[in-house]
Amino acid sequence: MQLDRISKPERSLLAVYAHPDDESFVPGGTIARYAFKGARVTLVVATRGEEGMLGDPPLADRSSLGECRTDELVGSCRVLGIDRICFLDFPDGKLNTYPHPEVEGRIVEIIRQVKPQVVITFGPEGITGHPDHQAISHFTTDAFFDAGRPDKYPKLKEWGLDIYQPAKLYYSVLPKKVAESLSFKLQGVEDNKITAIIDVSRYSHIKKDALFCHRTQMPDFKKFSDQDLLGLSTKEYFYLVHSELPHQKKREADLFEGLC
């Protein structure tokens, strides 16, 4: 099925994740849905994933894996329709060891530059429980609020970056019942922590194509059965952490609901 992008430049989505492949495995269908509906999508990746799998058979060695995974990510983003990638270039597996302002400040800078309406990232559980996933959730949550505060990171003003408050912050999550049905253990959340269910069935083939761009990580993906991948490719789930809108539905089917 051929999908053409529709131009609606007023919509802007910022996705902030830890590693190459997070963007396709977790919210890939949602990203594709909004990108192909004309939203401007920016991806922030905290690391280059240099401590990940090498492939089976190996497609890189440890010294070249970061570069290899960067190329894989570029391919995935092209498939998903992502407009811009911002690498923070922190070491893989060590994100939580860095001073909070050092990481948060980089994300605040990007928020003030990109001016997204909607920001998505991992929840505190990080879905897989990876420490980098949990850390990027914490840093992004604080950056979401601090981007709109004039007392935070005032030097950015000298660089021409005024304060900016995004409208909505969402966590990518999995329902507990979905997580427990998988053949590979992931961390789910209770139903009351799911406020948006996005139908991405029309974009499931795009999500799969993007995921398979990450060839070095295929040994990890093979832990999932075809049934697992089907369950992860038709619906994606989010928890609304904060909204600047005065009235908010308890359950949404669109992350931009109420915005435009």
Which candidate, 27, 42, 15, 237, places its Cα nearest to that of 144?
15
Distance CA(107)–CA(206), nearest Å, equals: 27
**pLDDT by residue, tens only, the chain of 260 residues:** 444 444 455 899 999 999 999 999 999 999 999 999 999 999 999 999 999 999 999 999 999 999 999 999 999 999 999 999 999 999 999 999 999 999 999 999 999 999 999 999 999 999 999 999 999 999 999 999 999 999 999 999 999 999 999 999 999 999 999 989 887 789 999 999 999 999 999 999 999 999 999 999 998 877 777 777 776 889 999 999 999 998 777 899 999 999 97
Is the distance from CB of 44 to CB of 88 less than 8 angstroms? yes
| Sequence letter at residue 5 | R
| Sequence letter at residue 139 | F
Query: Which residues, 6 or more positions from 136, have their beta carbon under 8 angstroms from its beta carbon?
Result: 16, 17, 18, 46, 95, 121, 122
| Sequence letter at residue 238 | F
Which CATH superfamily, name and number, covers 12-243?
LmbE-like (3.40.50.10320)
